[in-house]
Amino acid sequence: MSTAEALGQVQAAGTGGRRRMSSPLEHGRNRPTDPPIDRWPEATAGGDPRRMTSNGSVEEAIVVRGLHKRYDDVAAVAGIDLTIARGEVFAILGPNGAGKTTTMEILEGYRRRSSGDVRVLGVDPESGGRALRERIGIVAQESGVGQDFTVRETIELFSAAYPDPLPADDAVELVGLEDALDARVRALSGGQRRRLDLALAVAGNPELLFLDEPTTGFDPSARRRSWVLIENLRALGKTIVLTTHYMDEAQNLADRAAVLARGRIVAEGPPESLAGRENGTAVIRFRVPAGLEPRALPLVGIELETDHDRYVSVRTEHPTGILWLLLDWASRRGEELEGLTVTRPTLEDVYLALTAEGRE
Amino acid sequence: MSRRSHLALGWLWFKGRVRLMARTPRTTFFTFVFPLILLVLLNALNDSKVEVLGGRIRFAQFFTPSVAIFAMTTATYTAIIFGVATAREQGVLKRVRGTPLPMSVFLGSWLASAVLTGIVSVVGMFAVAIPVFGVHVYPDLLPAAVVTLLLGGVAISAIGLAVASFVKRADGAPIVANLTLFPLLFVSGVFYPIESEPEWLQRIARFFPLSHLVQAFDACFSPFTTGSGFSARDLAALAVWGAIGTIVAVRRFAREALDEESGHSGRRLWEPTTVKHSTARRSS
C-alpha cells in the first residue's frame, strides 16, 4: 500500500462517524521506526504522556489499514481497517467464513497478508519473531499440547520461554483449573482443555491476548468464570482481542466490537450502541388494565400490536413521548401497567440484521 | 525478567521429553521390546558363523550390533516421524509457533531425547546379548562405538525430522516411515552381511546412511578390526547425511511458519476460507 492510499484510508476511517472509545489517530507517535504510521498527518509528537507506555511504545495495541487476504481468487478478508487501543477489550463478531479467524491469524503472525499494513504492539507480526511473541498470548481455535504431559508440566514448559512468566499455580488458579494441576492433558474434559489453553495464554504474562472463541464448549458456569478471568485481565491493563459467537459475551466483556461479514467490517462500536442500537426502534409492551379495551388507551393514531393475555406492544422511534402519554394516563387513573417493558434491539438482533446477507 | 538461552530452554524440554517417553508404553514397546525379540530369536536360531567384516565371526557377534542399530533407528527416525506428524495434527506445532519457544529448540530437544532413548535401547541389547549369547565387547574399540552411535543417531534423527516435514497427516506417518526404512533395513546389512548381496544392491545400499551406520558400528565389535575402530568414510557419509537432513528440516519448518500450518484435521471444513486454503496448499 502506498503512503497516499494509507492516508486516504486513514482519513476515511477518521471521518467514518462511528463512535469510538478513543480516536487513536489523533495521538502522537514519534517513533521513527514505524514509517507508514509516522507519516500520517494526524500524528503529532508528544501528546498525552499517559498514552505512552513505559517502554515508549505507541498507545495502540493494534493498527490495521487496508488489510486484504486472498486465497486464489477468493477474498477471505476484503479491506479491513481497525485500531485497537491498549487496555481495550475488543470483540470480533461474524458468521463462520466471515474472515474472523483469518484476521486473527494474520494479527497473531500465523498467516501472511496479501496486502495492507498491520502493526501489533508497534511491529509487523509477519516479522515480529520471538520478541513479539514474548509479548502476546494466543488461544487459537485448535492448537494442542502433548497428551501425556501433566497440566503443570505443560504450563511450565511453555511459559519458560517468556521473560516474566506466571507460576503454574497462579495460571491454573486464574482459569479455575487448580484441581487438574497434576492430571495428564489426555484426561481433561473438553472444557478443561480450553481452560488449559487459556492458562497457557496468560502464563506468559503477555501485554496482548488473542482469544479465538475462548469459551466455545464451556458450560454456562465455566463461561461465567472465564468472563471473570477476562475482567481480571482487563483490570491488569491487558489488551484483549476475542472472537465469539455468543452475543452476551461480547455485550458483557467488550469495550468495542466489530461485526465482520464477507471479509469486511460492517459495523464497529461499543456493543450498547453498535449499528445505532441505542437509537433504533424501541418496543413498549405492557398489559392492558383489566376491564378496558385497548381502544380506551390514550394512544390515538398509534399502531398497537395485540398479543396474548391482554398484552399490547407499540413499536416506536420516539419512546419517550409515548411513555409520557401512557404513564400520565395510568397514574391519573391510578392504574398499574403490569408487565411494562421498553426494549431496544438486542445485540443479537443487530448482529443478525447486519450479517443476514452474508448467510443467504 | 530475563530471556532464557536456547540451551536452557532446550534442556528443560529435553528433561520433559525424557519424562514423557518413560510414561508412554507404546514408544517403549517399539523401541525396546521389538528389537529385543529380534535379538533373542535370531541369535537363538542361528548359531553358525558368518563371513563379514574381514573374517568369519559368530552370528551373534555380527547380529547384536546390527540389531542395536535397528533399535536406534526405530527410537529416532521412526519415532520422530510418528511424533512430529501427530504433533502437527494435534496443533502442537502451531501452538509452539505462537509462543516465543523457538521451533529449533522444540525440535532439537525432541531429537536429543530420541537419541537418548536409542542409546538406552542399544545398551539394553548388549546387556542381554553379552551374558546370554557371549558377545564380546572390545574396550579399545568402545570410544569409536560410542562416537559412531551418537553421530549416527543424530544424523538419522535429523533425516527423520526432514522427512517428517513432508508428512502432513498423522495417518500418513507409519506408511512413510516404514516404506522408507524397511527396504533399507534389509539391504543395509542389518540382518545379513552386506557383502553377501549382489554388487548393484550393495551400491544402492551404500548410497544411504543406514548401511554406513551399520558398517561403522559393526566394525567396533569385530575381532578383525585393527586400530581405534573409527571408520572415517562411513562417519563422513553419516555427517553429510545428517547435515542435509538438518538443512532440509530447518528450511522446511521455517517456511511452514507462515501460511502452511493450521491445515490440520478438525479444522472447520465448512468455512470457505479454510477449504480454499487447504486446496491452495495441496496444489503448491
Distances in Å between the Cα of B121 and the Cα atoms of A141, A317, B112, B125, B211 are: 39, 79, 14, 6, 19
Backbone angles phi, psi at B10, to 5 degrees: -60, -40
Residues with Cβ within 8 Å of B96's Cβ and at least 6 positions away in sequence, in order, are B103, B106
pLDDT of residue A278: 67
Asked if B94 lies within 8 A of A204 by C-beta distance, the reply is no
pLDDT of residue B258: 62
Mutate to test the interface with A, among B20, B28, B99 (most CBs of A within 10 A): B99
Cβ atoms of A66 and A79 within 8 Å: the answer is: yes
CB contacts of B94 in chain A (<8 Å) are 110, 140, 142-143
Angle between helices A190-203 and A220-235 (to 10 degrees): 10
Q: Cell 525379540 sits at which residue? A: B37
- The whole-angstrom distance between A222's CA and the closest CA on chain B is 23
Cβ atoms of B162 and B245 within 8 Å: the answer is: yes
Task: Tell me which chain A residue has its CA closest to the CA of residue B94.
Answer: A143
* Three cell numbers, residue B175: 506408511
Mutate to test the interface with B, among A143, A149, A151 (most CBs of B within 10 A): A143
Distances in Å between the Cα of A293 and the Cα atoms of A209, A299, A315, B116, B270 are: 57, 12, 19, 88, 53
Mutate to test the interface with B, among A68, A71, A105, A243 (most CBs of B within 10 A): A71
Least confident of B9-13, B21-25, B212-216, B267-271: B267-271
CA B16 – CA B12 distance, rounded (Å):
6
CA A52 – CA A31 distance, rounded (Å):
11
Cβ atoms of A162 and B9 within 8 Å: the answer is: no
Task: Tell me which chain B residue has its CA closest to the CA of residue A263.
Answer: B273
- The DSSP line for A131-149 is HHHTSEEEE-SS----TTS
CA B49 – CA B61 distance, rounded (Å):
9
- CB burial class (10 A; 0-12, 13-18, 19+) of residue A20? middle
Q: How many CB atoms neighbour CB B205 within 10 A? A: 21
A vs B, Cβ pairs < 8 A, gives 116
CB contacts of B113 in chain A (<8 Å) are none
Asked if B94 lies within 8 A of A143 by C-beta distance, the reply is yes
CB contacts of A153 in chain B (<8 Å) are 16, 19
Residues with Cβ within 8 Å of A89's Cβ and at least 6 positions away in sequence, in order, are A230, A234, A239, A240, A242, A253, A254, A255
- The whole-angstrom distance between A69's CA and the closest CA on chain B is 10
pLDDT of residue A82: 92
CA B26 – CA A148 distance, rounded (Å):
12
Q: b or e along A303-313 (b: 16 or more beta carbons within 10 Å of the residue's beta carbon)?
A: eeeeeeeeebb
Distances in Å between the Cα of A336 and the Cα atoms of A44, A287, A288, A329, B261 are: 59, 9, 9, 10, 63
Q: Is B101 on the interface with A (CB under 8 A)?
A: yes
Asked if A133 lies within 8 A of B99 by C-beta distance, the reply is yes
Q: How many CB atoms neighbour CB B111 within 10 A? A: 24
B residues 173-212 closer than 8 Å to A (CB) = none
CA B24 – CA B12 distance, rounded (Å):
19
pLDDT of residue A10: 36
Query: Is the confidence at residue B4, as pLDDT, over 50?
Result: yes
Of A275, A255, A282, A264, the closest CA to residue A347 belongs to A275
Cβ atoms of B21 and B187 within 8 Å: the answer is: no
Percentage, residues of chain B above pLDDT 90: 39
Q: How many CB atoms neighbour CB A242 within 10 A? A: 24
> What ipTM is given for this predicted complex?
0.81
pLDDT (average), residues B163-170: 88
pLDDT of residue A165: 92
* Three cell numbers, residue B67: 540389531
Helices (H), chain A: 3-14, 35-38, 100-108, 129-133, 151-159, 168-175, 190-203, 220-235, 247-253, 319-333, 347-359
Asked if B94 lies within 8 A of A105 by C-beta distance, the reply is no
Asked if B99 lies within 8 A of A160 by C-beta distance, the reply is no
CA A50 – CA A201 distance, rounded (Å):
27
CA A86 – CA A238 distance, rounded (Å):
7
CA B138 – CA B53 distance, rounded (Å):
15
Asked if A110 lies within 8 A of B97 by C-beta distance, the reply is yes
Asked if B91 lies within 8 A of A76 by C-beta distance, the reply is no
Per-residue pLDDT of chain A (360 residues; tens, 9 = 90+): 444 443 333 333 333 333 333 333 333 333 333 333 333 333 333 334 334 444 445 588 999 999 999 887 788 888 889 999 999 999 998 888 888 888 999 999 888 888 999 999 989 998 888 899 999 999 887 777 888 899 999 999 999 999 989 999 999 988 888 889 999 998 998 888 888 998 999 999 999 999 998 887 777 887 888 888 888 888 888 999 999 888 888 888 899 999 888 888 888 888 877 776 667 778 888 888 877 777 777 777 777 778 777 888 888 888 888 888 888 888 888 888 888 888 877 777 777 877 776 444
Backbone angles phi, psi at B150, to 5 degrees: -65, -50
What is the total residue count of chain A? 360
- The whole-angstrom distance between A314's CA and the closest CA on chain B is 40
pLDDT of residue B27: 66
CA A163 – CA A130 distance, rounded (Å):
11
- The DSSP line for A269-295 is E-GGGGGGGGGS-EEEEEEPPTT--GG
- The whole-angstrom distance between A143's CA and the closest CA on chain B is 4
Asked if B100 lies within 8 A of A133 by C-beta distance, the reply is yes
Q: Is B4 on the interface with A (CB under 8 A)?
A: yes
- The whole-angstrom distance between B4's CA and the closest CA on chain A is 7
- The whole-angstrom distance between A303's CA and the closest CA on chain B is 43
Asked if A163 lies within 8 A of B277 by C-beta distance, the reply is no
* Three cell numbers, residue A342: 421498553
CB contacts of B267 in chain A (<8 Å) are 142
Cβ atoms of B83 and B110 within 8 Å: the answer is: yes
pLDDT of residue B153: 95
Asked if A142 lies within 8 A of B267 by C-beta distance, the reply is yes
Query: Is the confidence at residue B56, as pLDDT, over 60?
Result: yes
CA B17 – CA A357 distance, rounded (Å):
50
Cβ atoms of A180 and A189 within 8 Å: the answer is: no
pLDDT band at B114 (very low <50, low <70, confident <90, very high): very high
Asked if A97 lies within 8 A of B270 by C-beta distance, the reply is yes
Task: Tell me which chain A residue has its CA closest to the CA of residue B88.
Answer: A144
* Three cell numbers, residue A122: 508497534
Asked if B258 lies within 8 A of A101 by C-beta distance, the reply is no
The residue among B80 and A174 whose pLDDT is bigger is B80
Mutate to test the interface with B, among A157, A188, A200, A360 (most CBs of B within 10 A): A157
Asked if A153 lies within 8 A of B16 by C-beta distance, the reply is yes
pLDDT of residue B277: 37
Amino acid letter, B108: G
CA A260 – CA A78 distance, rounded (Å):
10
- The whole-angstrom distance between A305's CA and the closest CA on chain B is 40
